[in-house]
Chain A
Amino acid sequence: MTPEDLVSHVREATGLVERDELTPQGQAAVWVAPERWLEAATHLRTCGRCGFDFFTFLTAVDRGGDRGAEAPPPRGKPGRAQAPSPSVDQGEGLEVVCHVYAVRRQHHLNLKTLVPREGGSLATLSGVWRGANWHERETAEMFGIGFAGHPNLAKLELPVNFEGFPLRKDFLLITREAKEWPGQKEPEERHEEAKS
């Protein structure tokens, strides 16, 4: 199916699609409400026309905003990469992306949803695709998103006593907290900063 057909099929068959995206590069994404996450994923897995049998990845994207009072503001210069840009704003929070592929039908789909930064949680997909197990563990430790019903949501890559959610935008690397980021993006940058 072409990405357009695929999106309209998922829209009609599930009735769960809130919004869809088609990129100029021909990639498709459908947005569902977080409480319908499992239902939508189950359809993608079981529906014969979708046929999504290959689990590619699951991750999250910090959209910034809603930082919460207790989190310290980034210590880097304002306007650097750490500061959220308001330009792509379809809601703030953590965007969860699940990418699946259908081997025989050869089409891809990104299933997306938005969860709040504090206490955001989704139903686990590890019962739908077994591969989701580790990807959810990684997403949980990196972004602080819960996955209800997950068999073992222990830390995967981080040490067990690690605190914080490193891939969130308000998490600064230790070296950066101590000192201005050493790797400036442009050679001129530091020079200009030194002058000002």
Chain B
Amino acid sequence: MTPESRTITLPGEPGSAVAVTVAEGDLATREMTLNIGPQHPSTHGVLRVVITLDGERIHTAEPVIGYMHRGFEKLAEARDYRQIIALVNRHDWLSAFCNELGVAIAVERLMGLEVPERAQWIRMLLAEWNRVLNHLVFIGSYGLELGAITPVFYAFREREDIQEILEAATGGRLHFTFNRIGGLKDDLPKGFLRRSAELVRKVRNRLADYEGLLLGNQIFRKRTVGVGALPGNVAKDFGVSGPILQACGVAEDSRKTEPYLRYDQVEFDVPVGKNGDSFDRFWVLFRRMEESLRIIEQVHDRIPSGPVMPPKMPKTIKAPEGWIYQRTENPLGECGYYLVSRGDKTPWRLKMRTASFSNVSMIPYLLPGILVPDMIAVLGSVFFVVGDVDR
């Protein structure tokens, strides 16, 4: 102990009083454990994070998950493939259509089913609308978390328009259940493409406004630039995918690297950020929406006519023996299904690899060292949906 320092005993619960050595002029502090959640506006569901604080700075952070564990993987073993389509669209309720796609494609590939051309293009159209729908939620609610109330009202206005056309096509607002093994439930309703084309123009104009409103806002910049920066190699190590990985400067997008549907026949770019901070993550979201609108426009021009289901479908769908891992680029990142079949009409095992699970597993790395007020700015930009974490 140097002459300038002194020892102070800090009071606490019985048995937890600690003696700390403090330098002259400093205050005696101790680490504090703080519980965030399970109910907190920035957690999009019931995520709980236990953090220890050293003053205002986060020392450790440990997410506690499982509050929404619904045992989908076990349930899938007792459901046939038609029912599984309805089951998987609810783990990530903001990307319902994209979730369905992965299972449908996995089973189709195992069975060697030829999906009609029109169905492939319609799937791509709806999946991209779903992506815009998803990103608008994150953009709107992130503003709210940082104290800007306006963006969420605007974002949800456009969301409503998109919801409406998706509802017109699928009949569902949240759980579309529009995919079928082999194709789609129905063709698009009359006039859908015209309506969709009008909406593309409308959303594109509005997006420019929102970008100015958020990314151009000085307060937004101050709170997000350089906050929660994630290096690309760490992101890959944790299996972090989608917009967060792209914000780190890694151009990984399974629509490009392993095209499914007809993504190899449309033109689009994979946006990448530079610093991997909260600002870049939102910049990437905006760019991704623009690319989605680009894809949607190309689908409008090139969608072929024809049936949406194969002419001859077996009465009961049984995937042949074997296994497959099918990944799709979901709005939040890589969503994959590892399907093991024993030739039955139910899967032997269906592992859901969800983007949010891997994204959240990175939080113990990302939070330590940052200040408490920045925590919300970071958590809100680690894109996750709690249902998708817990499954």
Q: Which residues does A use to contact B, with CB under 8 Å?
A: 23-25, 27, 29, 53-57, 59, 61-62, 81-82, 85, 87-88, 97, 99, 103, 106, 108, 110, 129-131, 133-134, 142, 155-159, 166-167, 171, 173, 176, 181, 183, 185-186
With A56-B334, A103-B236, A157-B66 as known contacts, state yes or no: A87 contacts B343, CB within 8 Å.
yes
Q: In whole angstroms, how far apart are the Cα atoms of A134 and B349 in the complex?
A: 20
Q: In whole angstroms, how far apart are the Cα atoms of A99 and B326 in the complex?
A: 12
B298 contacts partner chain A, Cβ-Cβ < 8 Å: no
Minimal beta-carbon separation of B135 from chain A (angstroms): 23
> Can you add 4 more A-B contacts, CB < 8 Å, to A85-B344, A103-B236?
A23-B324, A25-B110, A55-B236, A130-B238
Q: Is the CB of A27 within 8 A of B340?
A: no
Minimal beta-carbon separation of B347 from chain A (angstroms): 9
- Of the listed stretches B18-26, B32-40, B71-79, chain A binds B71-79
With A97-B338, A158-B66 as known contacts, state yes or no: A129 contacts B237, CB within 8 Å.
yes
Among B65, B338, B340, contact of A99 (Cβ-Cβ < 8 Å): B338
Q: In whole angstroms, how far apart are the Cα atoms of A56 and B238 in the complex?
A: 8
Q: Is the CB of A81 within 8 A of B65?
A: no
Q: Mark B45-68, 1 if CB is under 8 A from A, else 0.
A: 000000000000000000001100
Which A residues touch B73, using CB under 8 A?
A: 142, 167
With A157-B69, A159-B66, A173-B74 as known contacts, state yes or no: A53 contacts B345, CB within 8 Å.
no
Minimal beta-carbon separation of B322 from chain A (angstroms): 6
**A interface, over-half SS:** loop
Q: Is the CB of A56 within 8 A of B343?
A: no
With A55-B238, A56-B239, A57-B338 as known contacts, state yes or no: A25 contacts B257, CB within 8 Å.
no
Q: In whole angstroms, how far apart are the Cα atoms of A25 and B236 in the complex?
A: 25
Minimal beta-carbon separation of B16 from chain A (angstroms): 22
Which A residues touch B334, using CB under 8 A?
A: 56
Q: Is the CB of B66 within 8 A of A131?
A: no
- Of the listed stretches B200-208, B273-281, B302-310, B353-361, chain A binds B353-361
Among B74, B316, B324, contact of A167 (Cβ-Cβ < 8 Å): B74
Q: Is the CB of B238 within 8 A of A61?
A: no
Q: In whole angstroms, how far apart are the Cα atoms of A44 and B239 in the complex?
A: 15
Q: In whole angstroms, how far apart are the Cα atoms of A155 and B112 in the complex?
A: 39
Which B residues touch A133, using CB under 8 A?
A: 361
Q: Is the CB of A61 within 8 A of B349?
A: yes
Q: In whole angstroms, how far apart are the Cα atoms of A87 and B358 in the complex?
A: 34
Q: In whole angstroms, how far apart are the Cα atoms of A12 and B200 in the complex?
A: 53
For the complex of A and B, list the 6 residue pairs with the smallest distance between their C-beta atoms, beginning with the closest: A157-B66, A131-B239, A134-B361, A57-B353, A55-B239, A157-B69
